[in-house]
């Protein structure tokens, strides 16, 4: 194949994002989770009267399958509601802005046919993988290709493995036909930065508006096929709010149905420099941490109208992601887990792995060629995510559990679920539970242990900053 193809991903280079480094700001503002919530809720209030979100977000399904944990709720011997009124419920708390769960995909017949509206389905993707690897990727929990190499003859492999494809525009309608595997169109990768041929010639910079116009053409191409598939785009440094697309990110996001974002903070020193240079990065937080991946999710939510009204996925590297920097490193399995769970805590509607690798110790396709240890680690992450899909596919409630914590509160099937990480290294943390929790013990999901609740409080330890725990406790 010769010449650039719209939607195709050029090779990454460690220096590709230097852009105009002098345009990076050094001002930093603290951005605590409470600020994020306040900004989101205010933005929702301002945007709702005039919003015309596309597609409309249906209400989530009421019926959902069971999730990890056995036995009836532990009510701790509590009595019924007081005479003065109904007992408080976790569901009485305000919810954070949210994209609506799997019912969002009901607007797209191909996604519906592939099972994307089921509460038990949570997208776990690989970025630009090979459909001929479908069976091997499905074995570690991958259920989606976010972009895919041009292997139309291998569509049958994806169908047989039950792996969906969000196909690049280089795949023709004739090649795809009525394939049940192809649920969407991936129209571009980092168009806001000029990639995907959105700036064909940097000696004649077409600027923000020129890149936005290119994105619009790609989206019109995809929508013009009228084939019941959603439209998706991936974004990069535009998330930072600095040099790239400082005024057009919301316009880019508004064009598509599903977004994703990548900045590989664990492996690229240059990316860490860029993240730290964002005026929105919280003061005092190291950028080379799992928190960078949750922060990217927070940022992407603010570009949707209303905020958080479109599903966004966060990309996580699984090796050394085609970096040319001399001091670039390969991510460790514990860091992969930390990045995934921090993104989920902050509301990511899907996870995608960037598996391409230039660490000479193993091959390009790290989930295939970089050894059993990596595959087993990713498979363990994906099993846990898939097992908790009905919980992850539900809204998060507003609640502050305590200091030094990054958390999401969910309510599902008679239980409160707390997804938690420590914000500054390991150690013990204290959780104050919300009204409506009635259990006297907390189950630590997947760890075969429980923690006692005393006076509405429990305590637990985190081994490192990349450690996560999921807690389950009976609740109204």
CA distance 415 to 72: 10
Structure token pair of residue 94:
């305000």
Helix axes 333-345, 372-387, angle to 10 degrees: 20
Give percent above pLDDT 90 in the chain.
81
Q: Which two tokens stand for residue 328?
A: 């670039």
**Which segment of 54-58, 148-152, 252-256, 413-417 scores lowest on mean pLDDT?**
54-58
With bands split at pLDDT 50, 70 and 90, how would you rate the model's confidence at 287? Answer: very high
| Mean pLDDT of the 280-284 span | 96
The predicted pLDDT at position 274 comes to 97
- Tokens representing 471? 């807690």
Give the per-residue pLDDT at 86.
87
Q: How confident is the model at residue 424 (pLDDT cuts 50, 70, 90)?
A: confident
What's residue 9's pLDDT? Answer: 40
| Whether the predicted pLDDT of 67 surpasses 80 | no
Upstream peptide bond of 55 is cis (omega within 30 degrees of 0): yes
Query: How many other C-beta atoms can be found within 10 angstroms of the C-beta atom of residue 81?
Result: 10
Dump strand ranges (E) for 293-404: 312-317, 350-354
- Least confident interval from 27-31, 149-153, 184-188, 411-415: 27-31
Dihedral class, residue 17 (left if φ above 0, else alpha if ψ from -120 to 50, else beta): alpha
Q: Which residue has the higher pLDDT, 153 or 424?
A: 153
What is the mean predicted confidence (pLDDT) over 259-286? 97
| pLDDT band of 148, cuts 50, 70, 90 | very high
pLDDT, average across residues 86-102 = 96
Which single residue is written with the structure tokens 């795949």?
Answer: 171
Residues 78-93: tens digit of each pLDDT: 434 444 678 999 999 9
Tens-digit pLDDT profile for residues 368-419: 999 999 999 999 999 999 999 999 999 999 999 999 999 999 999 999 999 9
| Span 434-463, average pLDDT | 98
* CATH 3.30.450.20 is the classification of domain 98-392: no
Instruction: Decide yes or no: CATH 3.30.930.10 for domain 90-95+399-474.
Output: no
Per-residue pLDDT for 62 more than 50?
A: no
Continuous H helices in 139-204: 155-161, 173-176
Mean pLDDT of the region 7-12: 40
Q: Is the pLDDT of residue 212 over 50?
A: yes
Which tens digits make up the pLDDT trace of 305-340? 999 999 999 999 999 999 989 999 999 999 999 999
Residue 28 confidence class, pLDDT cut points 50, 70, 90: very low
Q: Per-domain residue ranges for the chain? A: 90-95+399-474, 98-392
**Mean pLDDT taken over the chain:** 87
User: SS3 sequence, 192-214?
Assistant: HHCCCCCCCCHHHCCHHHHHHHH
Q: For position 84, what pLDDT does the model report? A: 66
Give the pTM: 0.84
β pairing state of 182-189 and 230-235? parallel
């Amino acid at each position: 194949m010769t010449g650039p193809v719209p939607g195709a991903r050029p090779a990454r280079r460690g220096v590709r994002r230097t852009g105009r480094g002098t345009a990076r700001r050094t001002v930093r503002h603290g951005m605590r989770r409470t600020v994020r919530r306040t900004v989101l809720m205010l933005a929702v209030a301002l945007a709702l009267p005039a919003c015309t979100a596309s597609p409309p977000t249906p209400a989530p399904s009421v019926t959902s399958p069971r999730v990890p944990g056995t036995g009836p709720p532990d009510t701790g011997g509590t009595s019924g509601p007081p005479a003065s009124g109904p007992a408080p419920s976790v569901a009485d708390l305000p919810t954070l802005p949210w994209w609506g769960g799997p019912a969002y995909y009901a607007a797209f017949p191909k996604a519906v046919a592939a099972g994307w509206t089921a509460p038990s389905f949570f997208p776990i993707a690989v970025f630009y993988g090979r459909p001929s690897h479908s069976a091997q990727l499905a074995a570690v929990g991958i259920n989606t290709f976010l972009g895919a190499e041009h292997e139309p003859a291998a569509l049958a492999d994806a169908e047989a493995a039950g792996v969906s494809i969000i196909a690049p525009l280089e795949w023709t309608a004739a090649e795809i036909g009525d394939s049940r595997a192809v649920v969407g169109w991936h129209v571009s990768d980092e168009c806001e930065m000029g990639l995907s041929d959105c700036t064909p010639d940097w000696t004649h910079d077409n600027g923000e508006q020129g890149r936005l116009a290119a994105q619009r053409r790609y989206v019109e191409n995809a929508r013009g096929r009228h084939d019941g598939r959603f439209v998706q785009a991936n974004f990069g440094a535009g998330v930072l709010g600095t040099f790239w697309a400082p005024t057009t990110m919301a316009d880019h996001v508004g064009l598509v149905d599903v977004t994703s974002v990548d900045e590989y903070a664990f492996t690229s020193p240059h990316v860490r420099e860029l993240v730290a240079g964002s005026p929105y990065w919280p003061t005092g937080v190291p950028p080379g941490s799992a928190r960078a991946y949750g922060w990217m999710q927070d940022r992407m939510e603010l570009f949707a109208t209303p905020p958080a009204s479109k599903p966004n996925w966060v990309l996580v590297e699984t090796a050394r992601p085609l970096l040319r920097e001399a001091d670039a490193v390969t991510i460790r399995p514990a860091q992969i887990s930390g990045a995934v769970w921090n993104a989920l805590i902050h509301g990511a509607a899907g996870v995608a792995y960037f598996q391409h690798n230039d660490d000479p110790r193993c091959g390009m396709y790290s989930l295939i060629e970089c050894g059993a240890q990596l595959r087993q680690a990713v498979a363990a992450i994906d099993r846990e995510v898939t097992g908790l899909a009905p919980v992850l596919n539900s809204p998060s409630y507003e609640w502050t559990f305590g200091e030094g914590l990054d958390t999401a509160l969910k309510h599902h099937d008679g239980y409160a679920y707390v997804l938690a990480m420590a914000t500054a290294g390991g150690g013990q943390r204290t959780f104050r539970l919300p009204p409506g929790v009635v259990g006297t013990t907390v189950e630590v999901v997947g760890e075969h242990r429980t923690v006692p609740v005393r006076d509405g409080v429990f305590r637990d330890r985190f081994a490192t900053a990349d450690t996560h725990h999921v807690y389950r406790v009976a609740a109204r």
